[in-house]
């Protein structure tokens, strides 16, 4: 394995933990935030795309409210999240503004990943923001979602976001330099694990229990996140966020932190996940031209290529695309419901707005959400 993949990566998800952002509980570390933002801006300048997943809302809220420790009450956690989110986003916004970069706040929870319709909505919003050169700042919706406050962690959320946007690299910045073969706090001979496979089950034994008082995630959750990110072919680097120019070092392919490689390339892994994980809800019968476009040109499926619609499905559900003989050509996540698809079948993209009164997407199924069956 080499670090070449980091140098070639185009789309990045960068996650920053609570201990780093709040300087271990002393309030938001504005200087550190400015440093990470400057590095991200440098990445953007050379053509990289970055989505930032930031912890720290609850930790910042705890500090702002004058509490000495993270509360146990769900409603107090919700209150801390609401108060802290204000300061967290303001800090990022003002820091990126120095470089004339816009930011956007995105609050997600695991239900957004599980619901196919919300999955497509979140994916579309994030991809549009990326195209507009806006930096999305993602956090878990801790103010209203109790289960994620109690059991969730932003390491897992960052991995889900990496899956969502087909990221090449996930960087998890923490207060440790990476994964060690022993606890470096008590063993001076502990060695940093430089590279490994994300699905290597033996790594968990090295991680131990390292959760902190301000955040919920330890090294185990970071390994789990790397394994989760790898299902869409995303490689993960766990590295020390306080190291100078750490993001620049990672992007340059330098041997820093722990690199956890995916076993498959991103496109192949995503297509495999798409083909095997979801139950087909309906059928689209394609004309000859659409069959050729999908199988020979690898393009998206447009409404004009559909001759008939069968079954009942909603936006974001999996449908089967078949030819006139009923043989499956492809399957994918559809952008319109069965009623909508039936109304626009055989019509041009430009006609969708006139027929439906709106046009959410140009494609009936985008090629990124489509896997060929034969």
71 and 200 housed in the same domain: yes
Classify residue 28: in a domain, yes or no.
Answer: yes
Bridge partners (DSSP) listed for residue 371: 331
Q: Tell me what pLDDT residue 181 has.
A: 84
Average pLDDT along the chain, 374 residues, taken 10 residues at a time: 80 92 79 96 96 90 89 87 92 96 89 72 92 93 57 77 92 92 81 90 72 54 89 91 95 94 69 63 95 92 96 91 93 93 96 94 91 78
pLDDT value, residue 149:
43
Q: Check whether residue 141 and residue 235 sit in a common domain.
A: yes
For position 233, what pLDDT does the model report?
A: 86
* Residue 329 shares a structural domain with residue 352: yes
Residues 98 and 229 in one domain: yes
Domain match, 240 and 357 both: no
Residue 162 lies in a domain: yes
Contacts of residues 342-348 at CB distance under 8 Å and 24 or more positions apart, as own/partner, are 342/309, 344/303, 345/303, 345/306, 345/307, 345/308, 345/309, 346/303, 346/304, 346/306, 346/307, 347/303, 347/304, 348/302, 348/303, 348/304
Number of domain units in the chain? 2
Does some domain include residue 273? no
Judged by DSSP in three states, 57 sits in helix
Asked which of 242, 266, 290 is the last residue of a domain, the reply is 266
Same domain, residue pair 212 and 313: no
Q: Are residues 214 and 241 in the same domain?
A: yes
Same domain (yes/no): 120, 191: yes
Q: Give phi and psi for 108, each to the nearest 5.
A: -125, 160
CATH number for the domain spanning 296: value is: 2.30.130.10
Q: Point out the domain boundary residue: 266, 301, 322.
A: 266
Q: Do 311 and 176 share a structural domain?
A: no
In CATH, what number is assigned to the domain containing residue 171? 3.40.1160.10
Q: How far apart are CA 84 and CA 142, in angstroms?
A: 11
User: The domain containing residue 292 runs over which residues?
Assistant: 278-372
Q: Look at residue 271 and tell me if it is in a domain.
A: no
In a domain, 272, yes or no: no
In a domain, 219, yes or no: yes
Q: Is the domain of 283 the same as that of 184?
A: no
Show the beta-strand stretches assigned E in 141-279.
169-174, 195-197, 235-240, 258-261
Asked whether residue 200 is assigned to any structural domain, the reply reads: yes
Q: Are 6 and 253 in contact (CB under 8 A)?
A: yes
C-alpha to C-alpha distance for 305 and 369, rounded to whole angstroms: 17
Boundary of a domain, candidates 266, 295, 322: 266
Residue 66 within any structural domain of the chain: yes
Specify whether 237 is located in the same domain as 284.
no
Residues 247 and 284 both lie in one domain: no
């Amino acid at each position: 394995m080499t670090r070449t993949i980091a140098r070639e990566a185009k789309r990045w998800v960068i996650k920053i933990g609570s201990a780093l952002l709040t300087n271990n509980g002393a309030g938001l570390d504005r200087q550190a935030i400015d440093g990470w933002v400057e590095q991200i801006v440098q990445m953007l300048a050379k053509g990289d795309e970055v989505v930032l997943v930031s912890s720290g809302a609850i930790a910042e809220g705890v500090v702002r409210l004058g509490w000495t420790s993270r509360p146990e009450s769900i409603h107090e956690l919700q209150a801390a999240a609401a108060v802290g989110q204000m300061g967290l986003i303001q800090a990022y916004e003002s820091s990126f503004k120095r470089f004339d970069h816009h930011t956007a706040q995105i609050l997600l929870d695991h239900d957004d990943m599980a619901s196919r319709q919300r999955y497509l909505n979140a994916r579309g919003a994030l991809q549009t923001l990326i195209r507009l050169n806006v930096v999305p700042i993602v956090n878990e919706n801790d103010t209203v979602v109790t289960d994620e406050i109690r059991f969730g962690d932003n390491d897992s959320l960052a991995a889900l976001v990496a899956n969502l946007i087909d990221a090449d690299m996930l960087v998890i910045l923490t207060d440790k330099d990476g994964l060690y073969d022993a606890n470096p706090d008590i063993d001076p001979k502990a060695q940093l694990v430089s590279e490994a496979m994300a699905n290597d089950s033996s790594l968990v034994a090295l991680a131990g229990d390292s959760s902190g008082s301000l955040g919920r995630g330890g090294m185990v959750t970071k390994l789990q996140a790397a394994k989760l990110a790898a299902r869409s072919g995303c490689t993960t680097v766990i590295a020390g966020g306080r190291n100078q120019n750490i993001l620049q070092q990672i992007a340059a392919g330098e041997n820093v932190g722990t690199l956890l490689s995916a076993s498959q390339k991103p496109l192949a892994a995503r297509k495999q996940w798409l083909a095997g994980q979801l139950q087909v809800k309906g059928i689209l019968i394609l004309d000859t031209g659409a069959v050729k476009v999908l199988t020979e040109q690898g393009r998206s499926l447009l409404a004009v290529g559909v001759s008939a619609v069968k079954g009942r499905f909603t936006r974001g559900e999996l449908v089967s695309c078949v030819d006139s003989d009923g043989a499956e050509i492809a399957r994918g996540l559809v952008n319109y419901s069965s009623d909508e698809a039936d109304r626009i079948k055989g019509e041009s993209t430009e006609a969708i707005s006139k027929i439906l009164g709106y046009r959410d997407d140009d494609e009936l199924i985008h090629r990124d959400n489509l896997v060929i069956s034969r």
